[in-house]
Amino acid sequence: MAPDETQALWLEFAEDKTNRALRDRLILTYAPLVKYVAGRLGSGLPAHVEEGDLVSYGLLGLIGAIERYDPGRDIKFETYAIARIKGAIIDELRAMDWVPRSVRARARHIERAMADLEARLHRAPTDAEIASKLGIEVDELEDSLTEIARSSIAALDELWTISSSGGDQVALIDTIEDTQGPEPQSALAQTELKEALGESIARLPEREKLVVTLYYYEELTLREIGQVLGVTESRVSQLHTKAILRLKARLAGAGSRPAGGDSPRSP
């Protein structure tokens, strides 16, 4: 469908959101977005999770996005819809609770070890230092990172709270929904989180920073990133998982400090 036709369709649907024929035409127009998001998320999931199921979950998110989208807002529908589609898929997978508790616990232990070491060393800890802190060998740490990566779906799409006192939740990358027009407090929280995230990414070890940049901003697959770095796809997956756990630890630390403190921000 040509851009002008799509715009006309949006304007017509905005005037009559009960028109199912118009809604169905929009669903067909943007259905490839669901396939794209499902493919991206599915690449890191266990083999028993079918991509067809992810597409079904994502389709519900697309329908919700179409019904709630305001074409008068200064945001592309694709950007808005991708966030809704991802959210719908992730919510459904979380409801299924398919990730073993042992894997979740291991991820929390590694995350806490990274945070403790970074606070003490004032730099990103090495694999050997993290393994020593956990009382395991480096090989065991790498195996754990691989297992966490296989069961991880949230990554930078996960919702975060900007402060420890129950502030607004925003995604690390995507634009959040705004159903009531501009809300300065929410916008400020999102801006602060993006700034903290940007600073934290800039302080990642070089290879982890490159993986994050290539995966989330250049949209390369893990296999393609492996070709760029000259390492295996499994190693890229480990680097990605370490980066995410490190970012979570830093942002959690940033959110727990009192507001207005004298110390500089160091997520």
Span 60-113, pLDDT tens digits: 999 999 998 888 777 889 988 998 998 888 888 777 655 667 777 888 899 899
Per-residue pLDDT averaged across 192-207, rounded?
80
Q: At 216, which amino acid appears?
A: Y
What pLDDT, on a 0 to 100 scale, did the predictor assign at position 127? 92
Per-residue pLDDT averaged across 206-217, rounded?
88
What pLDDT, on a 0 to 100 scale, did the predictor assign at position 189? 56
* pLDDT higher than threshold 60 for residue 257: no
Task: Flag the least confident range among 133-137, 214-218, 238-242.
Answer: 214-218
* pLDDT higher than threshold 50 for residue 174: no
Cα 115-120-125 angle, rounded to 5 deg: 60
pTM above 0.85, yes or no: no
Tokens of 152: 């991880």
Collapsing DSSP to helix, strand or coil, 75 comes out as: coil
Per-residue pLDDT averaged across 29-37, rounded?
91
What average pLDDT is seen over the chain? 76
Per-residue pLDDT averaged across 115-128, rounded?
91
* pLDDT higher than threshold 60 for residue 59: yes
* pLDDT higher than threshold 50 for residue 265: no
Task: Flag the least confident range among 12-21, 43-52, 68-77, 223-232.
Answer: 43-52
* pLDDT higher than threshold 90 for residue 131: yes
Collapsing DSSP to helix, strand or coil, 126 comes out as: coil
**142 or 196, higher pLDDT:** 142
For 41, 111, 131, 241, the CA distances from 138, given in Å and listed in that order, are 28, 15, 5, 15
